Structure 1
Amino acid sequence: MASTGKKMQSKAQEAAGKAKETAGKAMGQDDLRAKGKAEQGEAKAKQTAQRAKDAAAQKLKGK
């Protein structure tokens, strides 16, 4: 299973990205908004990869 630390890091990255996106939207800064969206996407990709890794590990264990 994914370590709790890795899960927390990706969730924190996702939250930071959401904050940047919101701040960019509020201040009319499209570059900050885009950077926030990109960070969220990266965090979600990491989470998806970790879930796939966990599922494969469970398959190998026969569960």
Structure 2
Amino acid sequence: PSSIPSDADDLQGLTLATAEKRHILMVLDKCQGKVSGKKGAAEYLDLPVSTLRSRMKKLDISPK
């Protein structure tokens, strides 16, 4: 995808936690902030709701 930097220097500072946070935020946006239930972020990410909420807390992501 074009959003992935092609140069290794562009990856400097992109930690796994940062990448995970960006991805969760993108999915939450796509799901209109819905974390659980049908068409919620947890379903989209194929994660138990408790796991997603735990990762959101760890990454300082507030549900909308």
Larger relative contact order, structure 1 or 2 (CA cutoff 8 Å, min sep 6): 1
Structure number, greater radius of gyration: 1
TM-score of the alignment, normalized to the shorter chain, above 0.5: no
Relative to the length of structure 2, the TM-score reads 0.34
